């Protein structure tokens, strides 16, 4: 330790031998007898000191001189420049020994110091009982307690504390021991008296959590503020997976179930940080797995969101006997959609546990829940139970069959979809009939389920693919189109792709809007490039539509077709030059800029004049900037621009340097 040692101070062998040779064997006995005699006198010790016999006074002087040398050696080791007090100082007592003794002890402490150094406990107690000031110090600033600690006299130090000695030296020594992990020495010091909360606070500040645990084990009570600090540190340790620090903090008194301002416990932070070992440690210590944060999420849900499958299984195994399954079932009956989805996700993870006990409730959610997300999650639970062989297939089929009927109701369509997903094929003919009827139903939910059913029927729909595609490209609802795309992809995966001749036939007869919807579906299927010519032809009709939105959509669609759109650049240039709506002009100019990049290094097409004119003369700032952007794209592709286009770009570059991006924000993105 830095300041003190719990071991006795070593005096050199020669010095010890000389001291022992010069001291009478009965020196302390003489001192004790005479001191006890004068303690009983009414004049007190101050008078008695001057009347002690010369033999006893000389012997004590030798002991005091030895104590002075010991203290000087100790401080020299600490780097303090101190000198042994001179023995030539004369005082009113007449002898150097008396002067040295009185100066050292302030009238009494010199005898106590000598007795402490000798280790005579009874003499030290006798002197301490009559000492008026237990905190008096010698010329080096050391009190009797300091000397006892330096000499390793812990029993005497404990006695001095009991007699009123200031315990600061004891606490400082304890702090040094704990800081250096000298717990054996700290345990010896604690026998001298309990420490204060200051020692614990210093250990927490120095992150000496093992020392804090040691102090707690020895009966130190933590304050509420110290407990909060330890809990906050435990959260940080859990998040980073510092197992050693976590163990020390938990041993120190950090709460397993402490929640911060977000309501998150150490277990939740272990899940957020994907720290498997932290999770295992906390669970082994008995952490509560049922707690929820301020957002209503518990540790299991956090693991599910972070895709920590191993941690999920650990939490499920721990929580199985604590009502987790029952709480999940309550979630499934909740009015909150997110809670019902959460319940299904939980049950899917519990397929090897209690999920099969609630099969009827899960199937009911898969067939009758009004929300698509909940139905999908419940279907996944049923499929997982079937795959894990945790539910009787006949029982599942019997439960589903009870809801089947001959009409296109949502529950019936959901039932047929679940049967198809489970691989039950003896209802396929009825499912096909209802699905073909369902794709024309006014209810979007029924149309969506119908497309999913058709996608699972495979070769059974071979004769109906053209009709189904025609219905799909007229579908306005995005979720229903997504279901149709999923069906077409499923057919292709089974070796029954859409016929190209049927697609072209439908595109040739499609309106502009239908062609755009077909483009979306073909893009999802990755087949849009095959039909760009047919699509471009239909889109070009939209350039002359009466509705501005249709003209704008047609311009955007043509701009995405690259080579196929070149044929219709005159129509785009006409929209850019003459359209009444500025947003249509912008869409047409963007399309021209995109299509023009395929010209390469050839000379600019004739409609470059439209871009130059719009860049210089259009009253709308957005139109001007869009025209400049289109010219910039062509310039970067190496196209041979006419002088007017080059001059226009130079003018705008000069304007940008002069006034920044305030008036030409889009142009600046090109010419920075």
Segment 340-367 mean pLDDT: 78
pLDDT tens for each residue of 628-644: 888 888 888 888 889 88
Share of the chain above pLDDT 90, in %: 7
Region of poorest pLDDT, from 109-123, 205-219, 283-297, 437-451? 109-123
State the first-to-last Cα distance of the chain, in angstroms, to the nearest integer.
65
- Tell me: pLDDT of 488 over 70: yes
| Cα(190)–Cα(211) distance, integer angstroms | 13
Strands (E), 87-131: none
Neighbouring C-beta atoms of residue 192, cutoff 10 Å: 24
The tokens describing 38, both together, are: 């004068």
Q: What is the pTM of this model?
A: 0.57
187 — pLDDT class (breaks 50, 70, 90) = confident
Q: What is the pLDDT of residue 70?
A: 53
Dihedral over Cα of 382, 384, 387, 392: its sign: negative
For 527-573, the pLDDT digits (tens) are 888 888 889 999 999 898 889 999 999 999 998 887 888 889 899 99
Token look-up 């416990």 returns 265
Across the range 267-283, mean pLDDT stands at 88
Band (pLDDT 50/70/90 cuts) for residue 111 is: low
Listed range (157-161, 246-250, 258-262, 511-515) with the worst mean pLDDT: 157-161
The listed range with the strongest mean pLDDT (241-250, 417-426, 445-454) is 445-454
* pLDDT value, residue 256: 85
Look at 171-180, 301-310, 506-515, 617-626 and tell me which has the smallest mean pLDDT. 171-180
Cα(124)–Cα(374) distance, integer angstroms: 83
Is the pLDDT reported for residue 255 higher than 70? yes
Supply the pLDDT for residue 156.
76
Q: Residue 641 phi/psi, 5° resolution? A: -80, 145
**Is 255 buried (19+), middle (13-18) or exposed (0-12) by CB count in 10 A?**
middle
* Range 150-161 average pLDDT: 75
pLDDT of residue 585: 93
Give the pLDDT band of residue 660 (cuts 50, 70, 90): low
Find the mean pLDDT for residues 381-401. 82
- What is the number of helices (H) and of strands (E) in the chain? 39, 0
Q: Is the pLDDT of residue 588 over 90?
A: yes
Indicate the average pLDDT of the chain.
Answer: 75
Residue 167 banded pLDDT, cuts 50, 70, 90: low
Q: How confident is the model at residue 193 (pLDDT cuts 50, 70, 90)?
A: low
Which of 522, 429, 512, 534 is closest to 484 using CA atoms? 522
Q: pLDDT digit string (tens) for 207-242? A: 877 878 877 777 777 778 888 888 888 888 888 888
Nearest 5°: the CA angle 303, 306, 310 is 55
Question: Which one is predicted more confidently, 124 or 576?
Answer: 576
Higher-confidence position of 35 and 126 = 126
DSSP state letters, 427-463: THHHHHHHHHHHTT-S-HHHHHHHHHHHHHHGGGGGG
Domains of the chain: 13-192 (1.25.40), 196-322 (1.25.40.20)
The mean pLDDT value for 446-456 works out to 91
* The pLDDT value given to residue 606: 85
* Tens digit of each residue's pLDDT (9 = 90 or more) over 65-106: 554 555 555 444 443 333 333 333 233 233 333 333 333 334
DSSP string, 513-555: HHHHHHHHHHHHHT-GGGGHHHHHHHHHHGGG-SSHHHHHHHH
């Amino acid at each position: 330790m830095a300041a003190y040692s719990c071991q006795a101070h070593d005096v050199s062998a020669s010095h010890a031998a000389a001291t022992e040779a010069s001291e009478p064997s009965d020196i302390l006995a003489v001192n004790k007898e005479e001191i006890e005699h004068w303690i009983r006198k009414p004049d007190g010790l101050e008078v008695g000191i001057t009347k002690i016999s010369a033999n006893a006074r000389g012997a004590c002087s030798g002991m005091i001189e030895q104590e002075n040398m010991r203290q000087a050696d100790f401080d020299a080791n600490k780097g303090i420049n101190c000198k042994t007090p001179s023995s030539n100082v004369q005082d009113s007592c007449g002898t150097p020994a008396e002067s040295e003794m009185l100066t050292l002890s302030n009238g009494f402490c010199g005898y106590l110091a000598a007795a402490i150094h000798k280790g005579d406990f009874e003499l030290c107690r006798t002197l301490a009982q009559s000492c008026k000031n237990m905190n008096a110090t010698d010329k080096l600033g050391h009190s009797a307690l300091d000397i006892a600690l330096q000499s390793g006299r812990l029993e005497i130090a404990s006695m001095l504390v009991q007699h009123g000695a200031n315990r600061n030296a004891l606490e400082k020594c304890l702090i040094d021991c704990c800081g250096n992990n000298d717990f054996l020495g700290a345990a010896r010091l604690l026998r001298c008296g309990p420490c204060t909360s200051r020692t614990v606070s210093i250990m927490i500040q120095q992150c000496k959590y093992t020392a804090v645990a040691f102090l707690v084990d020895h009966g130190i009570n933590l304050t509420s503020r110290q407990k909060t600090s330890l809990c906050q540190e435990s959260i940080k340790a859990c998040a980073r997976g510092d197992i050693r620090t976590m163990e020390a903090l938990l041993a120190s008194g950090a709460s397993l179930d402490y929640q911060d301002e977000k309501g998150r416990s150490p277990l939740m932070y272990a899940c957020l940080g994907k720290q498997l070992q932290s999770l295992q440690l906390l669970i082994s210590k008995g952490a509560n797995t049922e707690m929820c944060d301020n957002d209503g999420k518990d540790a299991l849900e956090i693991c599910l969101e972070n895709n920590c499958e191993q941690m999920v299984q650990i939490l499920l195994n721990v929580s199985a006997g604590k009502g987790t399954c029952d709480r999940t079932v309550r979630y499934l009956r909740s009015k909150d959609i997110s809670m019902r989805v959460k319940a299904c996700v939980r049950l899917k993870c519990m397929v090897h546990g209690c999920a099969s006990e609630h099969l009827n409730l899960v199937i009911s959610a898969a067939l009758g829940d009004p929300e698509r997300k909940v139905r999908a999650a419940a279907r996944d639970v049923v499929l997982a139970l079937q795959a894990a062989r945790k539910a009787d297939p006949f029982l599942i089929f019997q439960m589903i069959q009870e809801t089947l009927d001959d009409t296109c109701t949502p529950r019936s369509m959901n039932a047929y979809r679940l049967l198809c997903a489970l691989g039950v094929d003896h209802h396929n003919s009825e499912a096909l009939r209802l699905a073909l009827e369902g794709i024309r139903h006014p209810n979007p939910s029924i149309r969506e389920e119908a497309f999913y059913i058709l996608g699972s029927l495979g070769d059974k729909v071979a004769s109906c693919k053209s009709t189904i595609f025609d219905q799909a490209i007229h579908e306005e609802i995005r979720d229903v189109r997504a279901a149709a795309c999923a069906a077409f992809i499923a057919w292709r995966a089974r070796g029954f792709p859409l016929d190209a001749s049927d697609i072209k036939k439908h595109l040739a007869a499609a309106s502009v809007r239908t062609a755009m919807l077909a483009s979306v579906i073909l893009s999802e299927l990755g087949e849009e490039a095959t039909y760009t010519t047919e699509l471009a032809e239909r889109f070009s009709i939209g350039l002359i539509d009466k509705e501005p939105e249709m003209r704008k959509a047609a311009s955007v669609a043509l701009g995405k077709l690259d080579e196929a759109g070149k044929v219709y650049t005159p129509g785009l240039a006409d929209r850019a030059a003459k359209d009444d709506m500025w947003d249509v002009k912008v869409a047409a100019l963007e399309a021209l800029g995109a299509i023009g990049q395929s010209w390469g290094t050839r000379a600019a097409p004739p409609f470059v004049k439209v871009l130059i004119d719009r860049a210089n003369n259009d009253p709308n700032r957005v139109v001007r900037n869009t025209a400049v952007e289109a010219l910039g794209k062509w310039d970067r592709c190496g196209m041979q621009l006419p002088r007017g286009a080059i001059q226009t770009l130079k003018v705008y570059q000069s304007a940008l340097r002069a006034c920044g991006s305030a008036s030409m924000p889009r142009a600046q993105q090109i010419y920075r």
